[in-house]
Amino acid sequence: MSVQTLTTLDELDRKLRECGDALQTSDDAMRSVFQGFRMAFALDHPADPFSEAYRDFQMRLYERIAGRRYEVAHEATAIDVADCIARPFPFLTQSCVTAGQHFGAIGHLLRSMSLPPGARILELGPGWGNTTLALAQLGFEVTAVDVEARFCEVIRRRAERLGVPVRVVNADFFWVESAAEIFDAVVFFECFHHCADHLRLLRAVQRVVGPEGRVYFGAEPVLADYPVPWGLRMDGEALWAIRQFGWLELGFSERYFRQALLRTGWLSRKSVSADLPWVTVWEATRDTGAVRRFEATDPRLGTATGIKADGVIRIVGSERGYGMYGPYIPLPPGRYRATVHFAADVPLQGELVLDACAARGHAPLGAAPVDIEVGRASLTFDVGEYLDEVEVRLFCSAGACAAVAAVEIEKEGEGAAPNAEALGPAGVNGPQTPFT
């Protein structure tokens, strides 16, 4: 399908009228029109995407497209609550494709969440409550916070129908700045991109997440090839939502999103849906800056040739292979030292090699033989760019003996973060101004 690049607001308004006409046929017909137009990104933005000047640039762009200054009140969604109890989105679209994609994205989020039964979850911006209710039905203790009072009522009444407890709060994202509760996880599903001050929100979420807690970003527009670090999306559907309703529709480059998380105290890892390759889940954990220690009992450590018993990974006269591997953690750029601590009750024997790698072994970071006289093994390695799943492995020769008690990964230096200019656009062609 050819995509028309619009240059004026008059052209945009004509396209939006086409969208309205298509909706009279079906929701699918309207979404087909969405795919046929866009506007060019504004590439003359300030260089530093973390600056107030850059944020002001994006908000002025919003004002020109929306025809108004942004207010949280614009995120209101006019719905008939009674009608939406039985048929909320996506059912009201009567589209199998839209419904399938929506629930496929929720399914990927659920598959990505490693939480114990009964965990306390805070969902921000739940909208229709589909994710909220799935989490509640799984037995999690769910608090849902939404700025739209009608959505809150829909969630309450849907939860009552299902007989599951859900605490519902009518407030905006920054409710977290005054909340007293601590949660095991915070969930954003298709909503984080509506926040006008996402850096403030990322910092604020630190208040309500426990030390070992997680933050999940499901099906958010975080893209490897996004033309600007962050800013208004210029696809047809986003332009329709901005111009028609005043909603804020942001997108983020992966590089900027990682850096935004790092600057606000979070490490991140990305998971891509096998069924819907454009759907991702980003999991954020606290960047403590300290030594990360993983006991042998930690489920993130595994073994191919040993056994987990008595609090250690025991490798005694086993066959050749990896006696220990894991923990598959995200690491930002820098120099790191990995140390394997051995239990004293099993003398080290045989040939042992310690290595570090990413991409499930396809990206080696370093390797060194283990001095069995020392009683522990260390390896220093460099991470040049953000890596999602770094693991440390202990390769053992046939007949080798060892008992791994713990693994530690420590950052030795501050590391060099990309400068602001490196986060800007590169190799993007097209007009410098999106419209006149």
DSSP-assigned states of every residue in 109-172: HHHH----TT-EEEEES-TT-HHHHHHHHTT-EEEEEES-HHHHHHHHHHHHHHT--EEEEE--
Query: Do 250 and 336 reside in the same domain of the chain?
Result: no
424 vs 270, higher pLDDT? 270
Dist. CA 94–CA 172, nearest whole Å: 30
Dist. CA 384–CA 40, nearest whole Å: 32
Q: Tokens in use for 218?
A: 């499901």
Query: Do 128 and 192 reside in the same domain of the chain?
Result: yes
Query: Do 240 and 303 reside in the same domain of the chain?
Result: no
How many domains, in total, are found in the chain?
Answer: 2
Work out the end-to-end distance of the chain between its first and last CA atoms, rounded to an integer number of angstroms: 25
3-class DSSP assignment, residue 422: helix
Residue 423 placed within a domain: no
Average pLDDT over residues 174-199: 97
Residue 1 placed within a domain: no
The strand ranges marked E within 191-265 are: 209-218, 222-223, 230-232, 250-253
Q: What is the pLDDT of residue 288?
A: 79
Q: What is the pLDDT of residue 373?
A: 81
Dist. CA 323–CA 314, nearest whole Å: 8
Average pLDDT over residues 297-322: 93
What sign has the CA pseudo-torsion 144, 150, 151, 157?
A: positive
Query: Does 434 have pLDDT greater than 60?
Result: no
Query: Does 422 have pLDDT greater than 70?
Result: no
Percent of the chain with pLDDT over 70: 94
Residue 11 placed within a domain: no
Query: Does 194 have pLDDT greater than 80?
Result: yes
Dist. CA 388–CA 385, nearest whole Å: 10
HEC assignment per residue over 23-74: HCCCHHHHHHHHCCEEECCCCCCCCCCCCHHHHHHHHHHHHHHHCCCCCHHH
What are 312-358's pLDDT values in tens digits? 999 998 789 999 999 998 888 899 999 999 998 899 999 999 999 99
pLDDT band with cut points at 50, 70 and 90 for residue 413: low
Query: Do 49 and 177 reside in the same domain of the chain?
Result: yes
Average pLDDT over residues 65-74: 96
Query: Do 137 and 233 reside in the same domain of the chain?
Result: yes
Q: What is the pLDDT of residue 423?
A: 46
How many CB atoms sit inside 10 A of residue 161's CB?
11
CATH number at residue 331: 2.60.120.260
pLDDT band with cut points at 50, 70 and 90 for residue 385: confident
Query: Do 226 and 320 reside in the same domain of the chain?
Result: no
Given the DSSP bridges, would you call strands 183-189 and 120-124 parallel, antiparallel or unpaired?
parallel
CATH number at residue 84: 3.40.50.150
Of 288, 319, 348, the residue that ends a domain is: 288
Dist. CA 133–CA 95, nearest whole Å: 21
Average pLDDT over residues 417-434: 36
Query: Does 287 have pLDDT greater than 90?
Result: no
Tell me which amino acid residue 40 is: A
Structural domain harbouring 369: 292-410
Query: Do 381 and 273 reside in the same domain of the chain?
Result: no
Residue 227 placed within a domain: yes
Of 240, 266, 288, the residue that ends a domain is: 288
Query: Do 388 and 375 reside in the same domain of the chain?
Result: yes
Query: Does 431 have pLDDT greater than 80?
Result: no
Query: Does 196 have pLDDT greater than 50?
Result: yes
Percent of the chain with pLDDT over 90: 83
Query: Do 310 and 280 reside in the same domain of the chain?
Result: no
Query: Do 81 and 52 reside in the same domain of the chain?
Result: yes
* 58-67, 138-147, 322-331, 369-378: segment of lowest average pLDDT: 369-378
Q: What is the pLDDT of residue 415?
A: 41
Of 232, 267, 288, the residue that ends a domain is: 288
**φ and ψ at residue 7, rounded to 5 degrees:** -125, -10
Query: Do 214 and 270 reside in the same domain of the chain?
Result: yes
Residue 156 placed within a domain: yes
pTM (2 d.p.) = 0.81
**φ and ψ at residue 406, rounded to 5 degrees:** -165, 160
Q: What is the pLDDT of residue 412?
A: 87
What value does the mean pLDDT of the chain take?
92
Residue 274 placed within a domain: yes
Average pLDDT over residues 384-401: 92
- Nearest alpha carbon to residue 343 among 310, 321, 319, 369: 310
Spatial CB neighbours of 25, under 8 Å, sequence gap ≥ 6: none
Dist. CA 38–CA 22, nearest whole Å: 17
Alpha-carbon distances of 282 from 135, 217, 218, rounded to whole Å? 18, 5, 7
Residue 429 placed within a domain: no
Dist. CA 209–CA 206, nearest whole Å: 6
**φ and ψ at residue 384, rounded to 5 degrees:** -85, -30
Residue 405 placed within a domain: yes
Query: Do 89 and 107 reside in the same domain of the chain?
Result: yes
pLDDT band with cut points at 50, 70 and 90 for residue 91: very high
